[in-house]
Structure 1
């Protein structure tokens, strides 16, 4: 397993160290986001003339095949082989298409790659949860509308207090869920900045088009500050 951080070591590292540093048992769930980010990045690199069109075609073909294999469960995420999902995809791509796979990393750092994958994953999950919360609000509201005259005791400090309707109790949870929905909406707004192109912390000298990659990946804009982005 290739390790970016092990260049100065002359001996094989202990397996305990490998286990501690390996994140692929957890971040393998980011594979689709990692590949989509790489597809957009290679598109931009070719568009800017940083890599050739031939390299771009080879990268896209290789990444598409890797994505299909991962979707089908044909690739194992073994910590003994891969340290993280980013190195896993890069290693598989290079094995498949050769040096063109290494050129995919041009103008990109592991820092902005990880930040992008995390934002894309959380954005998709938060959007899905937001939809479920709104659906739950609709369901509870429907039940409440059918129980506007269903009398129930209201409790405080585990003791019966005032008589209320079942609808009133249900709508209390609707109010709570509406706050949750607003929190998720705020999260989605905060996540709507693309960190790709930030590099390690302060960008790169390559003529990247960060607005192109942001738009391609469904973000409204790139991050204002690269250090903040990563």
Structure 2
């Protein structure tokens, strides 16, 4: 038995190692944001007369072609090209020739990476806020449908006082509203552009950082170049917010698991969110809440 388990473990481990040594793993999730930032950057280089207009248009066309191929899944990223940024630059040069190398004028991978992270997190915060709003709407809908439904309220998993089922659900609406408020507040610190900070002390090229910020929809730029590339506090803040959201989701999910059990029998979950047993046909397992 141990030999069999050991074999399975080794096989799974080798598969993971192969995945993250033959490709660039999670880094490839920044592909679209990386190209989005590069398109704004090269437009600025053209506006400031740093790169000829003809080359700018060639680079922009090449970047859009690379983006199209990424979305099609026809590009294989390789760890031999270090990261998503170098992978995209390599594919760009293959697409348009040596002129593609001008894209990196006036920037470092340091401010490029930081910009990608700001763009990535900004998009995810907007999406997550929208999903929380949808969840609130669903909970409010259930509350409206159960205005007269009374259930026991619990403390220490012991019945305490009677409460309205709607009142219980609305507690989660309030929790998720605070989660939304935290995300919206964090957006102010996410939506700041670090591009132009270079490696740590800016660049001698006459770039226009505010033009790039406007192109990308940022509210402003970092005032200090060292701060722009050396801190990731905006990510830590999001992770904290996300942890609180997951705590609220976990709490709600555990109640759905309890309420749908035979012992409680308060609710019935739709079959779409449950699975059956491979050996006991009478069972209806609340798998989706359990996974959350």
TM range (shorter): 0.7 to 0.9
> Is contact 1:23-1:83 (8 Å) kept?
no
- In the alignment, the residues of structure 2 paired with residue 93 and residue 69 of structure 1 have an alpha-carbon distance, to the nearest angstrom, of 11
What is residue 131 of structure 1 aligned with on the other side? 130
- In the alignment, the residues of structure 2 paired with residue 95 and residue 229 of structure 1 have an alpha-carbon distance, to the nearest angstrom, of 31
> Is contact 2:23-2:78 (8 Å) kept?
no
Structure 1 portions without partners, runs of 5+: 1-18
Q: Greater relative contact order (Cα 8 A, min sep 6): structure 1 or 2? A: 1
- In the alignment, the residues of structure 2 paired with residue 75 and residue 102 of structure 1 have an alpha-carbon distance, to the nearest angstrom, of 19
> Is contact 1:46-1:52 (8 Å) kept?
yes
> Is contact 2:153-2:161 (8 Å) kept?
yes
Offset of 1:22 from its aligned partner?
8.8
- In the alignment, the residues of structure 2 paired with residue 189 and residue 171 of structure 1 have an alpha-carbon distance, to the nearest angstrom, of 28
> Is contact 1:23-1:84 (8 Å) kept?
no
**Aligned-partner SS, 1:60:** helix
Structure 1 residues 116, 97: CA separation in 2 closer, same or farther (over 3 Å shift)? same
Structure 1 residues 122, 82: CA separation in 2 closer, same or farther (over 3 Å shift)? same
1:77-125 per-residue CA deviation (whole Å, 9 max, x = no partner) reads 232x421100001111122222211111111000010001111011101
Aligned length: 211
Structure 1 residues 22, 181: CA separation in 2 closer, same or farther (over 3 Å shift)? farther
Structure 1 residues 227, 127: CA separation in 2 closer, same or farther (over 3 Å shift)? same
What is residue 62 of structure 1 aligned with on the other side? 62
TM-score with structure 2 setting the length: 0.69
- In the alignment, the residues of structure 2 paired with residue 176 and residue 57 of structure 1 have an alpha-carbon distance, to the nearest angstrom, of 49
- In the alignment, the residues of structure 2 paired with residue 27 and residue 223 of structure 1 have an alpha-carbon distance, to the nearest angstrom, of 24
1:50-87 per-residue CA deviation (whole Å, 9 max, x = no partner) reads 111111011011111101000100001232x4211000
Structure 2 portions without partners, runs of 5+: 1-18, 230-292
**Aligned-partner SS, 1:104:** helix
More helix by share: 2
1:178-217 per-residue CA deviation (whole Å, 9 max, x = no partner) reads 1111111112111110111111112111111001000100
- In the alignment, the residues of structure 2 paired with residue 210 and residue 55 of structure 1 have an alpha-carbon distance, to the nearest angstrom, of 20
- In the alignment, the residues of structure 1 paired with residue 167 and residue 133 of structure 2 have an alpha-carbon distance, to the nearest angstrom, of 19
How large is the Cα RMSD of the aligned pairs? 1.6
> Is contact 2:23-2:77 (8 Å) kept?
no
What is residue 166 of structure 1 aligned with on the other side? 165
Structure 1 residues 59, 228: CA separation in 2 closer, same or farther (over 3 Å shift)? same
> Is contact 2:69-2:75 (8 Å) kept?
yes
Q: Decide which structure has the larger Cα Rg and report it.
A: 2
TM-score with structure 1 setting the length: 0.88
Offset of 1:23 from its aligned partner?
7.9
Offset of 1:25 from its aligned partner?
1.3
